[in-house]
Amino acid sequence: MIANAFENVLEERTPAAHRRIRSFYDRYGFPVADLIRKNQAACDLVYLAMKPAEWLFLAVLYLVDVHPENRIALQYLPRQKEQAKKEAEKK
């Protein structure tokens, strides 16, 4: 959820960079994930690599957002509720 909230910040603050990163992930992420799932050692290695990335994402969230907990919590809500909340905040 932290990575998704971080992606949301990227999408809002740097849309061009987000598009490039998302395009790269969409192209290569799923095939790599399939390979990783077949190898326990690769799973462990990716988990260990992602932990520091998660901490970095969390640090960025706390630096750029007044209430990062709310942004993270939104990741748990269905998209319809999230959209309704955004519309309510605009009013």
pLDDT class of 79 with cuts at 50, 70, 90: low
Name the pTM for this structure: 0.74
pLDDT at 80 exceeding the cut of 60:
no
- pLDDT value at residue 84: 57
pLDDT at 76 exceeding the cut of 90:
no
DSSP code, position 67: -
Instruction: Kindly report, residue by residue over 13-61, the tens digit of the pLDDT.
Output: 999 999 999 999 999 998 988 989 889 999 999 999 999 999 999 999 9
Q: Residue 33's closest CA among 48, 41, 43?
A: 43
Tally the domains of the chain: 1
- pLDDT value at residue 82: 58
Alpha helix ranges (H) inside the chain: 2-13, 15-37, 40-64, 68-74, 79-90
Separation of alpha carbons 28 and 20, rounded Å: 12
Contact by Cβ (8 Å): 5, 71: yes
Instruction: Provide the residue range defining the domain that includes 11.
Output: 2-90
Separation of alpha carbons 47 and 54, rounded Å: 10
pLDDT at 77 exceeding the cut of 90:
no
pLDDT class of 74 with cuts at 50, 70, 90: confident
**Residue type at 32?**
V
Separation of alpha carbons 13 and 36, rounded Å: 31
